A = this chain, B = another copy of it.
């Protein structure tokens, strides 16, 4: 059951009506070709080609075999062309895992635009706050915010987005407006999960502040709501708090300082990606960096 390749070689030889000719076409030394065809004949137990030193002619068996082989090889080529189209023509279902709040705010308009560009792609998004296991779950791609843990996964950077500090006016009135990063140590700093310190930059200096909070939670949206309800200071991506900022529910704290810009990655389980995934990632790379 290891003769399929030799069938393809046989087809080439018959087409070229010559071993050397076929070898040149395939790009293979004629010695190999000759041996491979002989091996094929030996395995079948029948002579396929009648060879003179100058000519080759199909035997009766060879004639029959050639007809079959040609069909098979052509079909194989077709199958691969079809796969090639999957690489070239984006289509199919794109399954992606997205960080819920980031996706809602930053990605929704991009996804809408992408969907308009590629009408053949159907989408299956899983918006979640957990980092799903790409190895075991059938996602084509996952978007990850922040630095990545080590893994076998392939990560492609999409953008690096700035983060700033925000709080409600009422909170600041009540707890006092921080004048420098160190002041944050005495504030309620609402971080995601169990964040223990924030790193701040002012363009020249970098400083780290230990932070504490009564809340441990994994919802960006809820952190923002808490901040809007005067519960503390948050470090957040710009667009997430755009509405709260516009309505005055939140305003920037330490405006000359900003947090370490957050990298956004597209993570896949393999580099061998269908066109839909490739285009999706490329699109995000091109557009996310501009927002």
Contact = CB atoms under 8 A, between A and B. Distances in A.
B50 A138 contact: yes
B46 A65 contact: no
Interface residues of chain A: helix, strand, loop or mixed (majority): helix
A136 B1 CA distance: 32
A82 B60 contact: no
A269 B56 CA distance: 14
A3 B86 CA distance: 18
Contacts of A135: 52
Contacts of A197: none
A90 to B, nearest CB: 12
A66 to B, nearest CB: 10
A138 B274 contact: no
Q: Which 10 A-B pairs have the closest CB atoms?
A: A4-B4, A68-B79, A47-B272, A47-B270, A4-B5, A5-B5, A60-B92, A46-B272, A72-B75, A52-B136
26 contacts: A1-B26, A2-B8, A5-B5, A7-B76, A44-B80, A44-B272, A45-B87, A46-B86, A46-B87, A46-B273, A47-B273, A50-B138, A52-B136, A57-B138, A59-B274, A60-B86, A61-B86, A61-B274, A64-B86, A65-B79, A65-B83, A68-B76, A68-B79, A71-B75, A72-B75, A72-B76
Interface of A: 1-5, 7-8, 26, 41-42, 44-47, 50, 52, 57, 59-61, 64-65, 68-69, 71-73, 75-76, 78-80, 82-83, 86-87, 92-93, 135-136, 138, 269-270, 272-274
